[in-house]
């Protein structure tokens, strides 16, 4: 029996067998969650979708929530959901395990969710803030007065045409 163990997913792959562990689904990532975590996941997903139009997709071991770019993602673990939220500021709260600089304008906050009741304010407020962040960043980068309509300047009258 010739084959190999996949470096990424640790699954045994037979020789000449098609294998693409990068192609995963939300259902596959949440299938083995205990009931309490499944309830937390469903509430988290439902809350995020209530914010408005967005894309939800699975990528390797994470479930991404994205507008123009990812504003948060979830890594389902055996005993908790690891939620990484991108905000324009650093939070100091007991729920936040770690804050790292993701870019010049964003900080990623690592938060563990273990129960459905943790998916409530202030956590949901942070998710909404992350959802709205691209709009806030775009408004900050716009030059002053860009929103006001330009007033038309009258053209110079040509001599002899009046």
73 domain-assigned: yes
Q: What is the pLDDT of residue 97?
A: 97
Report how far residue 158's alpha carbon sits from residue 96's, in angstroms, rounded to the nearest whole number: 68
Collect the ranges in the chain with pLDDT lower than 50. Answer: 162
157 domain-assigned: no
Q: What is the pLDDT of residue 153?
A: 52
10 domain-assigned: no
| Domain enclosing residue 45, as ranges | 20-134
What is this structure's pTM? 0.75
72 domain-assigned: yes
Report how far residue 6's alpha carbon sits from residue 63's, in angstroms, rounded to the nearest whole number: 21
52 domain-assigned: yes
SS3 label, residue 71: strand
162 domain-assigned: no
Count of domains for the chain: 1
64 domain-assigned: yes
- Per residue in 68-104, pLDDT (tens digit) is 899 999 999 999 999 999 999 999 999 999 999 999 9
119 domain-assigned: yes
């Amino acid at each position: 029996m010739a084959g190999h163990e996949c470096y990424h997913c640790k699954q045994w792959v037979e020789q000449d067998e098609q294998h693409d562990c990068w192609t995963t689904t939300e259902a596959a990532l949440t299938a083995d969650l205990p009931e309490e975590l499944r309830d937390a996941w469903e509430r988290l997903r439902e809350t995020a979708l209530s914010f408005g139009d967005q894309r939800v997709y699975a990528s390797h071991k994470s479930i991404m929530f994205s507008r123009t770019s990812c504003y948060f993602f979830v890594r389902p673990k055996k005993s908790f959901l690891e939620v990484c939220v991108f905000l324009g500021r650093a939070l100091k709260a007991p729920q936040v395990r770690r804050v790292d600089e993701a870019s010049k304008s964003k900080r990623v906050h690592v938060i563990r969710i273990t129960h459905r009741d943790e998916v409530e304010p202030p956590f949901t407020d942070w998710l909404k803030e992350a959802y709205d962040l691209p709009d806030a960043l775009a408004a900050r980068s716009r030059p002053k007065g860009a929103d006001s309509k330009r007033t038309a300047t009258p053209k110079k009258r040509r001599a002899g045409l009046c």
